[in-house]
Amino acid sequence: MNRQISPNPDHVLDLTLPDRELHFALLEQVCAHQNLQLTRLSKGYLAALANTSLTRYVWGRDFGLNPASSAAILNDKYATYETLTYHHIPAVECQIIYPEGDPNPWAVGCNSLAFAAQYFRAHRGHIVLKPNYGSQGIGVHQVASLPELARAYREVFARSYSASLCPFYNIQHEYRVVILDGAVRLAYMKTAHGDWHFNLHHGALASPIPPADYPAITRLARQAFRALDLRFCSVDIIKTTDHQLLVMELNNGVTLTGYLKQHPEELDRILSIYADAVAAIFARPVTDQDHA
């Protein structure tokens, strides 16, 4: 269902707000329209949404619609790759790596800079090293020399418990597809601007997907969505210079603020996605019935 919301004339959205604040401003408009009270908790990162009988929560960008196990997979880049591969869905290759000397049994054999260097050489001396958990391109390093690899390894593990090694792909474009309960609600192309990053927060530009490419991209996104047993997510797909389409990641937390800032004419569409996601939260069965 696409819920049409007219922006509140008494509460004009300020698109210059930081992304987190703009995200919650969108939620506030939706809650006002649906007669819900929104209270921000936990230093403003948690939103409690309440009607007269029920309270639901939005944790940052996570609307709480996906199963907990699926959400955990999406928050782990290596687990996401393994799951997609299990379902024979083409995906960006990913190899997990742990800090130097990690003694845990699952880390044996992939817990050293030497292992990272071996992977680097096996992939023609050009890879990407990034935190296994993370978003918005934070902590992502493109590595083209062994000294760069050593520096990136130290920097990533100064903040992260595990990381992912990936081959460097020559990318034409990156695409994002937002899906809610099986319906594609937004799909756009991202073009790098100024450097190799395709993240809107790094200056990438969002534009419509060419009609000839749209069916294949949204079909692949839906395959990944179904494989992970999801209700609400965004799927990031790359197109390489040799025309491969590969799923890069799926995002459990959905953020549309970067797109909205570039395309303010899409406000009604963005509000309708938020509105349907909030309505879906409240449509979930209540499992803690009081039988007293």
Query: pLDDT tens-digit profile of 149-169?
Result: 999 999 999 989 999 999 999
Q: How many residues are listed for the chain in this entry?
A: 292
Q: What is the pLDDT of the chain when averaged over all its residues?
A: 91
Domain limits for position 157 = 95-167
pTM, two decimal places: 0.90
- The predicted pLDDT at position 262 comes to 94
**CB proximity list for 88: less than 8 A, separation 6 or greater:** none
Residue in 142, 95, 81, 91 with CA at minimum distance from that of residue 244: 91
Strand stretches in the chain, DSSP E: 37-41, 46-50, 55-59, 95-97, 127-131, 141-143, 163-167, 171-180, 183-191, 205-207, 232-240, 245-251
Among 141, 167, 193, the domain boundary falls at: 167
Q: Which CA distances in Å does 270 have to 118, 207, 260?
A: 45, 15, 7
- The predicted pLDDT at position 287 comes to 72
* 86 Cα distance to chain centroid: 20
Token digits for 17? 């707000």
Asked if residues 67 and 81 have their Cβ atoms less than 8 Å apart, the reply is no
Whether the pLDDT of residue 11 is over 80: the answer is: no
Q: Are residues 154 and 174 in the same domain?
A: no
Q: Is residue 7 part of a domain?
A: no
Q: Are residues 207 and 174 in the same domain?
A: yes
SS3 88: coil
Asked if residues 57 and 41 have their Cβ atoms less than 8 Å apart, the reply is no
Among 167, 200, 221, the domain boundary falls at: 167
SS3 22: helix
